Amino acid sequence: MEQVSKPRIGIILGDVAGIGPELVAKLLSDESVFDRAQIVLITDPRHWEAGVRIARTEPRTPALISRGEEILERKEDFLLLHLPGVDPATVPMGKVDPRAGKYVLESILFTLELIKKGLIQGFLFAPLNKESMHKGGSPFGSELDLLKHHLPHNEALEEINIMDEYWTMRVTSHVAFRDVPSLITPEGVYRAIRFLHKAMVSYGKQNPRIGVAALNPHGGEHGLFGDEEQTKIEPGILKAQQEGIAVSGPFPADTIFLKLRDGVLDGIISMYHDQGQIATKLLGFNRGVTYHAGFSVPITTPAHGTAFDIAGKGIADPGATRHAFYILCRIAQNSSQQP
């Protein structure tokens, strides 16, 4: 049997003033990660060394390279691509610092160039801080906006939230709550269902069972509390069902996540941001992953932030970072095997 090559995964440490370097040091101290991927750590070696010290771990020593093109020339499982940055000794832990934000921006842009050149097949970034990045010169409101602007894509791009085996996505995202009803359309519901289905299949979940949340209390009670279920959500579900997608609903939002927890559903489409986020974070905040889907390579990050309150203390939980890495490797591996 022909041996399947491991995907090349690029990793950046996130905000050096936060818990990112510590999380990555803890992740890469587990030798089993190198069975899943060739890892390219894109950072200043001083940032990596600082993370190792904080984590109090002893990971293997990476092979140092200075050019992206060297990735294809090297056979080692662990490479550190030197990207000079701010001296971490001059950055106070747990505080917004424009120098840290500027370096995160530079790290992301550098990694996106590696993706464009076909040098890496997946991208994991540790937590970043939007305020630090903005003060460091980033004009973008979110990392997804940054990725959209700089990385070519041929289809819709969406943010998928994953917690263990639970997958969720939303029809509307970062918008005012008062605008949500007008932004929900049958086509938008259909596109969200189709996108989540495709992403879950790419991960290896064949024929995933997707449930759709209602917008109104008790699912609207047949129009008593609003008619969006009948006029907007159900038509989108029907269109997806006609394509053979295993989707059902709309289910009242206060009970649909019980179906997910109990194994009746594999994924959920929510109508707005907090409808899905509150439930998934209660199910497992320290294991949540954000998957930016629709790009030429999979991109993941832990769903939590930089945790400035515990930065530098060595107590950060790497669970979400580990899960983000495993998901990334699996999708990248499956993508590389597709014709």
pLDDT tens for 273-314 read 999 888 888 877 678 899 998 898 999 999 999 999 999 999
pLDDT at 1: 30
In this structure, are strands 299-302 and 78-82 parallel, antiparallel, or unpaired?
Answer: unpaired
pLDDT at 155: 66
Q: What angle do CA 194, 214, 231 make, to 5 degrees?
A: 80
The confidence band for 154, taking pLDDT boundaries of 50, 70 and 90, is low
Q: What angle do CA 35, 162, 58 make, to 5 degrees?
A: 35
Q: Is the pTM of this model over 0.85?
A: yes
pLDDT at 174: 80
Q: Is the pLDDT of residue 110 over 90?
A: yes
pLDDT at 2: 38
| DSSP alpha helix (H) spans, 158-269 | 180-183, 186-203, 228, 234-242, 253-261
pLDDT at 285: 65
Phi, psi for residue 78 in degrees, rounded to 5: -135, 110
Task: Specify the amino acid at residue 167.
Answer: W
Task: Give the start-end residues of each E strand in 37-88.
Answer: 38-43, 63-65, 78-82
What domains appear along the chain, each with residue ranges and CATH number?
A: 8-153+295-337 (3.40.718.10), 158-280 (3.40.718.10)
Phi, psi for residue 271 in degrees, rounded to 5: -90, -25
**pLDDT (mean) for 98-103:** 96
Going by the DSSP 8-state scheme, the letter that residue 92 receives in this structure is: P
Share of the chain above pLDDT 70, in %: 97
Instruction: For the chain, give the mean pLDDT.
Output: 92
Q: Is the pLDDT of residue 4 over 60?
A: no
